[in-house]
Amino acid sequence: MDRRYETICIIKADIGEAEIKAIVTKSSELIVRESGIVNTVDEWGRRRLAYPIQKKHDGYYVLFDYNSGPAASKELERSLKINEDVVRQQTVKLDTEYVAPAPEPEKVEEPVAAAAPATEAAPAEKTEAPAKEETPAKATEAPAEEKTETVEAETTKETDKTEEGGADG
């Protein structure tokens, strides 16, 4: 039965890009060779370490998300552990199934609106945009109304003082 695993490894940052890519490719191929399925390989890139490891302050982070049996996970850990260019690695067994991230519709909508300003669809989208903004506008209008009432009350007080001063004179 296949399980879902995440393995993160920190590779020495001072080795070349070609060596880093070779380690990532070799690890991915190892998972597939052991009858696993690689869901994602997320390369975080060069980052500062929380504390020096082997007198190094930076490392190249790579996260593997894959489904496999326990044998593939053990073999990947063993392979990373004996590699001198890998500073640290850790594997975690996850309880959930892998779900591919849904595409973000916001990124798709922005280029469409910017690419078609002269079409009739663009004005329709522009009329929809203020409707969406009405809710935040109402929230800002309420304090404005309170300020208006305060100003009116102060004006009334000033008028009363002026009338009282006029009656004395």
Indicate whether 74 and 137 sit together in one domain: no
Residue 11: closest CA among 50, 51, 45, 39: 45
Q: Residue 128: pLDDT above 90?
A: no
Q: Residue 111: pLDDT above 70?
A: no
Domain ranges, residue 56:
3-94
**36-50, 86-100, 102-116, 149-163, range with greatest mean pLDDT:** 36-50
- In angstroms, the CA 44 to CA 63 distance is 8
Q: Is the pTM of this model over 0.85?
A: no
Indicate whether 8 and 70 sit together in one domain: yes
For residue range 19-39, list pLDDT tens digits in order: 999 999 999 999 999 999 999
For residue range 146-168, list pLDDT tens digits in order: 554 555 555 555 555 555 555 55
Identify the CATH number of the domain in which residue 69 sits: 3.30.70.60
Amino acid at 88: R
Q: Is residue 120 assigned to a domain?
A: no
- Looking at residue 102, its pLDDT comes to 73
Residue 109: closest CA among 91, 95, 94, 128: 128
Q: Is residue 111 assigned to a domain?
A: no
- Looking at residue 96, its pLDDT comes to 76
Domain count, the chain: 2
Indicate whether 133 and 90 sit together in one domain: no
